[in-house]
Structure formats: structure tokens, C-alpha cells
């Protein structure tokens, strides 16, 4: 593989800057932008000092420096032994930047602050003894305790559960060989290729520093400005604008380790591996209007849903699957698997299911466990090792540094939630918050004074012996990282027409919140590389008079095969298992219908919650009181997967004048959910202007209601909203 030295792509950079400069003419006088791009070849972004382009009003850009005043020639790439080799500890620029970033918030996490977690276990069903010595992956039937934490990325700890955002998916396995942390997301790719850019992407998506808003949202200028100048992010943008970013439940998301890791067997031979979590309940997303209303109805919706599922014994469960491949297979891929902005399609390397995770216990104390749990990708066990993915290489440093800042001590591993459940011993002593009492005079190794002091062992962790790539040390990216658009195109074109419309509409919504015209136009220009029809839909949605030009691309997008596993709608399971149905009643509601609906829904594996105008409930037609789980005004239909309305005629007439009751059915209809109504409930349909379709059924037909409630009525969407 060839590698271009730093600076070769200067002509392309000038073209890109000229393009950005031309687009910038529509910007307001206050807007200033540093034009930058990712060429993707073995070059850096060469924003040289004394650059005559993009100067701020009143003078030249000051040189970018370290905190010690050292001018920087490259702020885009970390230092690697070879272009595709490992990161180097000598990279003081990366360490200073990441260290400062890691310590910006105390004690809340900088990212992934809003989280929910639970205890459970992992059970192996297929041994990987051929590939690894990690016991957790070789001993079939053995149950390993674990703690799993889900999180949003952008918002603070006090933000909401349901914004459009990536979801963190982190699992701490307490194995017999030590703790293994598999720290990933519900999306298999990431925004950036190199850890050097992690502070920048997070800074851009966080609240704008001069105003302190928006919270937990990417729909603002700084984020999209960064994205417009970072073509490598376009694949992730397709995922983030898809329904994957607005999940209906944490129990219905996939999880990914994101990076390629290595498995090492007893002979020292290594095999690449990618890890996938697949929910037993299948994928399920919200629709955008529903996600927004959920934020107001219940900011803790996902946390409450996870809590209630565990409390009710409906334990969330995921399959763990792996993609295994050799170096020879990797060399034949039409992309570089070390590039975190790329995935390996399942058609190329199929998934192999090897076990399951079950979450069966809520934390005893939210702070002590969910908040103090400390995940580090560097926590592995013998038989698992790392690849040279430059984003992973940076994470191996960053997470440990973050925990030192958040938890205030190098002894954070002694907290009960972080402590291994197997014996552990070393010669590290003292330090802030030391909670053990080490004994003896020996605190060094080797030693001869204490026969009981810990020693290294042949069975311990070993790093893979991998030949080094040819090439010189430098701040470079390999040419194999240069294609920023092909997989973005593949993802978009693999979606169903409904999902494509949702992506286009999400882009229009987000960019409509961006006040800087040239940023909006630049994003549409990038979309032309992904799909011309998508670019046109977004341009029309933004009211652009003309389609902006596409920026230069280091590598032209290729037409890769469509991959149906990338869909959500095509993978949704037709089931009510693990879901919740709301049943609206009032005085006089038919007792037989209420009982029949409850029985049918619960038989299908879902829960029923009774909603009434008063929290005290109502008296049914048989004279018996029925308690309510929620009061109508405070329990809207957005918190349910389907709704039924069983009302006496008198109650129906009365509630037809109540806005909360009308919205109960109107929102359910607009969110494409099944609705069961009796004669009294028809009053609400009429008041809401709702026409019956196959998803609106008679409450006396419980079987048809359950069948309709197992999915969304996607064909209804065109009747209720205009999409891009």
C-alpha cells in the first residue's frame, strides 16, 4: 500500500477552500469559518500558518499552539509508527489535547453523561476456543456477571432520554481472568477516523460556548459547520439522521464494539473480530414527532422503561454475535477495516451468534453503580487484543485519563461496581482514596524478600505479534481511509422508502436550525456525493434556489451492493412482546371489553396500563372499581406502543370536548399506532378528525387489535405529515 507524505494534496486543499470561500459569500458579517477538509489520503489537513484564505476580520489567524506556546503544523492527525501502524506514546500533542478535554467536566462525564444501567449475566453458547484463550469466549454454558450502561452522548446528566442522538452501549464483564469492558454504541461507525479530532467533534455538538444552548441537540451551527468541513463524518451522519438515533426503547437497540479487535489463541495466532449486540425484541424506533413529545411527557422515558421491564420480570436480552476475519480477508475488503467510519457488511462477513446477555437486576443505588461505573476500552483479558485503528488507539489512553478526573483517584477500580470479582494482586500502593490495606515490605518487582508477592505468569496477557507496516513515522493517514462517501451511499440506498424519507426530513429539520447559509449549502453539496435525489429533497426542503455544487472528493463514491441488514423497518419483529398498551377508560366503560383486551394483550407478551381522567380510576359497567395506572392529562399516548379506548357513550361525548383525550387518539394515529375503539370511543375519533384504516379496529375484536399493534402502520404516514 502506498502512502503519500504530508503536503502532497495541497492543490486539492486549495480547490476545497476555494469552494468553501465561494459558498461563504451568503454568510452574515459575523460568521467566520476556518475552511478545512479531510482529503483522506496519507496527508493531513494543511491549514498552514500565514494562510491567506479565511482570515478573520481585522487580521490573520493566530497560529494554533500547544498550551506551552508550541506552534502546530498538524491538528488533524495523531502520530503513528507507520501510516497504518499503532499510535505512539511520544505524541505529546495528542496527550495534551485529550488530557485537557478529559478534565473539562467534574465530576459529570463530558459525553455519555445521561445514562441508565443494570446488572445481568452473559452466557456463552458457542465456543471460540479455536480463536482465543479468553475463558468468557471459550467455556460454553458458563455465566459471567456483568453490568451494562446505556447513554446518550451530547446531553448532560440532567437532559432527556429521547433526543436524536447516538446511544452508548457499554458492558463490563466480571470474568474469571479479570474485567473486560466492551465499550461501544448503537451505531457501528463513528464521526471521525483519528482520536485527535474527538475533542473537536464533541465540542461542536455540545452547547455553543458563548450562549449555553442548545442542550442535547445537534441541530445548531457549530456542529454542522464542523461536519461540513469533515467529509469523513458523512457516513455517520446518515446513521445519526436515521431512525437509529431515536429508539423507542433501550431494550430495542443494537450495540456495536465499533472497532476491529484481535482474538489470540493458545498458539499466538490472531484473528480480527467485530462485536455486535442484537436485541431479542428486535429493533424499534420512534417517529420524530413522537420523540419530541416524549421528551415533554416523560424526560426519563427510556430509564423508566428499562426499570419497569426488569421489575416486571420481562428481562431485556441481547444476542452477542461476532464477525471473524483474517488479515488476508481484510486486505481484500474494498475499504479499510481500521477506519472507524467504515463497517463490514454482513453479506461480506456474516454474523456468528456466540451467546446472550440478560439484564435481570436494577442497581441498588443509582449513583454508586450507574454513575460511578468506569469503563475503559483498555480493560481486556488474555486472548483479546487491539487493532491499529487510530480512533481506538486514542481511546485506550483517553478513558483511563477520564476516570482519573471523574472519580478523583487512581484507585477507582476498588469501587465495588468497578472491582474485579476474581482475585487480583499487584504492587501498586497508596494514592488518594486507597481503600485496601496492603501488607508487607515489598512493593516492587522483581524481589526476593517475600515469597508471596505477585509475579508475572505465562498465562497472562500477551500482545499480538504483528509485522509492522512499511512506512515512515509521521502524522499521516493511509490512502485506504480516503473514501468518505461510498458506505454513506450504501447505507442510504439500503433503507426502505419510509426510512429514506425520514433521513431527508431529519436533515431538513436539523439544517433549518442552522443560521449560517453557507454551512447549510455545504452539507447539501456533500449529499450530492451520496445520492443526488437525497440532495435534491433536502435542497427543496430548505428552499434553496439552486442545488449547491458538490465539493471535491479525494475518492469518488462507488456503488456498493445494497445491504438490507442496515434497515430498521425491514428488521422489525412483528411482536408485542415487551411492549406496553394504554387503555383509556372512564365511568361506565364496558367491563367485558376491558377484560378481553387486557387478556389478549398480556397473552401476546405486552403490558397493559389503565388510563383514566382521574388517578383514582373509574367504576366499570359491572359496578366494580378499576384503578388507574395514569391520569389522562399526565399519561399521553406517546408513552404507549398502541392504545385502546373503551368508553360509555356519555363519557365519550364528555371527553370529546377534552383536549387531552382528543390528543390521546390523534397522537396515536399520527404516530402510526394501532387504535381500538368502541362506540363511546368513536366520539374521540370524530373530534380528532380520524378516519378508520386497518390500524383502527373495533374494541370488541381483540385479536385484530393485537395483530395491528405488533408494528407501525407505515402506509398511514403519508396521510398525517409531509416528509421531505
For the annotated catalytic residues, the residue numbers are 112, 185
Residue with cell 445548531: 220
Residue with cell 442535547: 216
**Separation between Cα atoms, residue 192 and residue 629, nearest integer Å:** 45
DSSP 569: G
CA dihedral 320, 325, 327, 331 (to 10 degrees): -110
> What is each CA distance from 714 to 286, 502, 692, in whole angstroms?
12, 12, 15
Q: Specify whether the CB–CB gap between 159 and 215 falls below 8 A.
A: yes
Cell digits of residue 240: 445519526
**Separation between Cα atoms, residue 513 and residue 220, nearest integer Å:** 6
- Give me the DSSP letters along 630-670: EEGGGS-GGGSSEEEE---HHHHHHHTT-HHHHHHHHHHHH
Sequence-separated (6 or more) residues with CB below 8 Å from residue 169: 148, 150, 184, 185, 186, 253, 255, 256, 277
Q: Specify whether the CB–CB gap between 477 and 40 falls below 8 A.
A: yes
Helices (H), 161-287: 198-205, 221-228, 234-240
Q: Taking the alpha carbons of 487, 490, 496, 497 in that order, is the dihedral positive or negative? A: positive
**Among residues 637, 513, 498, 488, which one has the least CA distance to residue 563?**
488
For 433-501, the three-class secondary structure string (H helix, E strand, C coil) is CCCCCCCCCCCCCCCCCCCCCCCCCCCCCCCCCCCCCCCCCECCCCHHHCCCCHHHHHHHHHCCHHHHH
Residue with cell 414527532: 289
Beta-carbon-side half-sphere exposure of residue 621 (alpha carbons within 13 Å): 15
| 696-698 and 675-677 strand pairing | parallel
Q: Return contacts of 97-101, CB within 8 angstroms, 24+ apart.
A: 97/196, 97/199, 98/195, 98/198, 98/199, 98/394, 98/397, 98/398, 98/401, 99/401, 100/67, 100/199, 101/198, 101/199, 101/202, 101/398
**CA-atom Rg of the chain in angstroms:** 27
**Separation between Cα atoms, residue 122 and residue 355, nearest integer Å:** 7
**Separation between Cα atoms, residue 724 and residue 510, nearest integer Å:** 12
Q: Identify the H or E element spanning 395.
A: helix 390-407
> What is each CA distance from 70 to 66, 73, 74, 88, 92, in whole angstroms?
5, 10, 12, 19, 11
Q: Specify whether the CB–CB gap between 679 and 649 falls below 8 A.
A: yes
Q: Identify the H or E element spanning 358.
A: strand 352-361
Sequence-separated (6 or more) residues with CB below 8 Å from residue 457: none
Q: Identify the H or E element spanning 532.
A: helix 532-542
For 303-331, the three-class secondary structure string (H helix, E strand, C coil) is HHHHHHHHHCCCCCEEEEEEEEECHHHHH
| 642-645 and 580-584 strand pairing | parallel
**Separation between Cα atoms, residue 502 and residue 672, nearest integer Å:** 14
Amino acid at each position: 500500500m502506498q502512502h503519500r507524505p504530508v503536503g502532497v494534496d495541497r492543490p486539492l486543499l486549495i480547490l476545497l477552500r476555494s469552494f468553501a470561500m465561494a459558498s461563504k459569500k451568503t454568510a452574515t458579517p459575523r460568521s467566520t469559518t476556518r475552511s478545512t477538509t479531510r482529503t483522506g489520503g496519507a496527508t493531513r489537513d494543511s491549514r498552514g500558518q500565514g494562510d491567506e484564505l479565511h482570515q478573520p476580520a481585522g487580521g490573520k489567524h493566530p497560529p494554533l499552539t500547544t498550551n506551552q506556546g508550541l506552534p502546530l503544523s498538524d491538528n488533524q492527525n495523531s502520530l503513528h509508527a507507520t501510516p497504518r501502524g499503532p499510535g505512539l506514546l511520544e505524541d505529546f500533542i495528542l496527550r495534551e489535547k485529550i488530557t485537557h478535554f478529559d478534565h473539562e467536566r467534574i465530576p459529570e462525564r463530558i459525553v455519555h453523561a445521561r445514562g441508565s444501567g443494570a446488572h445481568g449475566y452473559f452466557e456463552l453458547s458457542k465456543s471460540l476456543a479455536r480463536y482465543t484463550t479468553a475463558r468468557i469466549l471459550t467455556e460454553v454454558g458458563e455465566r459471567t456477571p456483568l453490568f451494562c450502561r446505556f447513554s446518550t452522548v451530547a446531553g448532560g446528566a440532567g437532559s432527556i432520554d429521547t433526543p436524536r442522538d447516538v446511544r452508548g452501549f457499554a458492558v463490563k464483564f466480571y470474568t474469571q481472568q479479570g474485567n473486560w469492558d466492551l465499550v461501544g454504541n448503537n451505531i457501528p461507525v463513528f464521526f471521525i477516523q483519528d482520536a485527535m479530532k474527538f475533542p473537536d467533534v464533541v465540542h461542536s455538538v455540545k452547547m455553543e460556548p458563548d450562549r449555553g444552548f442548545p442542550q442535547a441537540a445537534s441541530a445548531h451551527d457549530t456542529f454542522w459547520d464542523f461536519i461540513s468541513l469533515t467529509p469523513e463524518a458523512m457516513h455517520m451522519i446518515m446513521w445519526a439522521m436515521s431512525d437509529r438515533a431515536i429508539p423507542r426503547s433501550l431494550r430495542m437497540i443494537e450495540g456495536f464494539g465499533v472497532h476491529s479487535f484481535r482474538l489470540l489463541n493458545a498458539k499466538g495466532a490472531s484473528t480480527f473480530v467485530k462485536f455486535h449486540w442484537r436485541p431479542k425484541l428486535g429493533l424499534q424506533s420512534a417517529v420524530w414527532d413522537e420523540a419530541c413529545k416524549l421528551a415533554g411527557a416523560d424526560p426519563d422515558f427510556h430509564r423508566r422503561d428499562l426499570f419497569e421491564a426488569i421489575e416486571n420480570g420481562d428481562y431485556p436480552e441481547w444476542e452477542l454475535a461476532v464477525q471473524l476475519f483474517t488479515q488476508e480477508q481484510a486486505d481484500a475488503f474494498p475499504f479499510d477495516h481500521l477506519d472507524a467510519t467504515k463497517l463490514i457488511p454482513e453479506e461480506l462477513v456474516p454474523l456468528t451468534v456466540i451467546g446472550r446477555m440478560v439484564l435481570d437486576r436494577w442497581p441498588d443505588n443509582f449513583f454508586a453503580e450507574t454513575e460511578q461505573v468506569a469503563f475503559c476500552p483498555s480493560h481486556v483479558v488474555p486472548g483479546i487484543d487491539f487493532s491499529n485503528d487510530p480512533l481506538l488507539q486514542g481511546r485506550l489512553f483517553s478513558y483511563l485519563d477520564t476516570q482519573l478526573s471523574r472519580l478523583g483517584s487512581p484507585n477507582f477500580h476498588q469501587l465495588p461496581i468497578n472491582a474485579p470479582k476474581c482475585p487480583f494482586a499487584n504492587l501498586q500502593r497508596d494514592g488518594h482514596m486507597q481503600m485496601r490495606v496492603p501488607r508487607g515490605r515489598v512493593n516492587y518487582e522483581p524481589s526476593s524478600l517475600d515469597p508471596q508477592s505477585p509475579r508475572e505468569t505465562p498465562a497472562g496477557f500477551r500482545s499480538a505479534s504483528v509485522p509492522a507496516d512499511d512506512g515512515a513515522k509521521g502524522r499521516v493517514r493511509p490512502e485506504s481511509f480516503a473514501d468518505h462517501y461510498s458506505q454513506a451511499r450504501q447505507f442510504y440506498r439500503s433503507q426502505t422508502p419510509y426510512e429514506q424519507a425520514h433521513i431527508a426530513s431529519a436533515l431538513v429539520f436539523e439544517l433549518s436550525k442552522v443560521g449560517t447559509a453557507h454551512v447549510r449549502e455545504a452539507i447539501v453539496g456533500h449529499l450530492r456525493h451520496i445520492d443526488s435525489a437525497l440532495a435534491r429533497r433536502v435542497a427543496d426542503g430548505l428552499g434553496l434556489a439552486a442545488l449547491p455544487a458538490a465539493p471535491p472528493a479525494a475518492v469518488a463514491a462507488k456503488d456498493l451492493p445494497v445491504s438490507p441488514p442496515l434497515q430498521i423497518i425491514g428488521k422489525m419483529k412483528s411482536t408485542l412482546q415487551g411492549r406496553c398498551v394504554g387503555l383509556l377508560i372512564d365511568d361506565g366503560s364496558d367491563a367485558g371489553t376491558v377484560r378481553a383486551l387486557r387478556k389478549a394483550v398480556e397473552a401476546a407478551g405486552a403490558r397493559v396500563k389503565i388510563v383514566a381522567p382521574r388517578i383514582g380510576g373509574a367504576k366499570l359497567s359491572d359496578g366494580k372499581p378499576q384503578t388507574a395506572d395514569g391520569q389522562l392529562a399526565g399519561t399521553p399516548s406517546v408513552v404507549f406502543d398502541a392504545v385502546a379506548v373503551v368508553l360509555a357513550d356519555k363519557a365519550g361525548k364528555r371527553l370529546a370536548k377534552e383536549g387531552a383525550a382528543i390528543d390521546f387518539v390523534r397522537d396515536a394515529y399520527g404516530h402510526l399506532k394501532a387504535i381500538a375503539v368502541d362506540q363511546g370511543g368513536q366520539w374521540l375519533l370524530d373530534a380528532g378528525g380520524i378516519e378508520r384504516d386497518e390500524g383502527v379496529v373495533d374494541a370488541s375484536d381483540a385479536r385484530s387489535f393485537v395483530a395491528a399493534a405488533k408494528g407501525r402502520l407505515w402506509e398511514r404516514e403519508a396521510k398525517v405529515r409531509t416528509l421531505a
